[in-house]
Structure 1
Amino acid sequence: MEIKSTSVLPSRYDDFLYAVICEDGNGTQISVVSALARLDVDPWEEAARLDEMIGARAQKRLISMLDRMSGQNWMDDQKKAVASRLVGLLPTSRARSNPMPGSEVSIELLVCVAIFWGFLLATAALTYNDHKTSAVAESHASITPPVQNPSASSDVRIATD
C-alpha cells in the first residue's frame, strides 16, 4: 500500500527546519524544528519570518533562540557559527549567496557606468554646440559681403602710351 504525503506545510524550509543544531545531554540530536517547538513557536511560520529577514537580523534572532532553547553553555563564536550556518540553509539566503552570474552589480560598477555615460553626454553636447557655432559662423560669412580695402581700387586700368 502506497502512502502519500498530504502535508500542506511548505517543504522549501525542510533543509533549514531539519538541520541539526546540537546534541542534548542524552546524545539526542536537536533539530531546528524540535528547538522551535520546545520554544512553543510554530517552526514553519518562524522559518518564513526568518527567511524574509536580512542575514544579520535573522542570525541575531536565531542566537537569541539558541540562548533560550538549549540549556547549553554556548560560546559567542559557537552561537554565531551555528546561526550563520542555519541562516544559510534558508531558501532566500541561499539564493542571495549563489546569485545567477551577472545578477549582482556592485556600486563601483554602477558609478563607473554613470561616469562613462556622463562623459559621453558631455562630449555630445560640446560637439553639438561646437558644430552649431561653426554652422552659424559659416552662415554669417556667406551673407556678409567680404570687407574691401578702401585704398584698393576695383577698377584695373591699363596704361597706354
Structure 2
Amino acid sequence: MTVRPDYALSRARYTAFLFTIVGTETRDAQNSGEDITVLTALTRIGIDPWEEAARLAVLPRAEAAQSLAATFVNLPDTRWALGDAAGAARRIVDTLPPLNHRAPPPLGSRIFLSWRFWAAGGLVLALVALNYLRHRA
C-alpha cells in the first residue's frame, strides 16, 4: 500500500515550523481567543503550508522571515504591526530544518552511480556478445 503524499515522512521535517503558534485571534473573530499556528495562517490565506515551508526552507533566513512577516500582516481576523510580525517571523523561521549545504554530485557521477546505467550497459554487452557468437558460428 502506498502512502499518500500528504502523509509522507518527507513532509515531517516541517512539523515544528508548521505547528508553531503565530498568535491569537482577535476577540471579534469567529474563534476568538484561539491560537493560530503557521499551518492555520497559511491555510486561511490559500497557501499550501507544506509547499510554503519547503519554499521558505531554501531561502536565506532573513528573506524567509521577511516573506513570512508579510504573510502574517495579511492574515484575516488578526492585527499585526509589521515590526511585531517581523520579530515573530524571525523566531518561527528558526524552526525550519537547516539547509543541506552539500552540492549535488555532478551529472556525470550520478549517471555512473545509477543502476539503470549499469543494467543498460550489461544488456548492450550481452547483445554484442550474442551477435558476435552468432556471426562467428
Asked if these proteins are the same fold (TM beyond 0.5), I'd say: yes
2:116 is aligned to: none
Provide the aligned C-alpha RMSD in A.
Answer: 2.2
Partner amino acid, structure 1, of 2:44 = R
Aligned residue type for 2:24: E
Equivalent residue runs for 1:1-161 within 5 Å: 7-8=7-8, 10-25=11-26, 26-92=32-98
Q: Which structure 1 residue ranges, 4+ long, deviate > 4 Å from structure 2?
A: none
Deviation at 1:80, TM superposition (A): 1.5
TM-score by length of 2: 0.60
Scaled by the length of structure 1, the TM-score of the pair is: 0.51
Give distance in 1, aligned partners of 2:21 and 2:70: 17
Unaligned residue ranges in structure 1 (runs of 5+)? 97-161
What secondary structure, in the 3-state scheme, does the structure 2 residue paired with 1:74 have?
Answer: coil
Pick 1 or 2: higher relative contact order, CA cutoff 8 A, min separation 6.
Answer: 2
* Distance across 2 between alignment mates of 1:37 and 1:73: 17
User: Which whole-Å CA distance do the structure 1 matches of 2:76 and 2:95 have between them?
Assistant: 20
Query: For this pair of structures, how many residues does the alignment match?
Result: 91
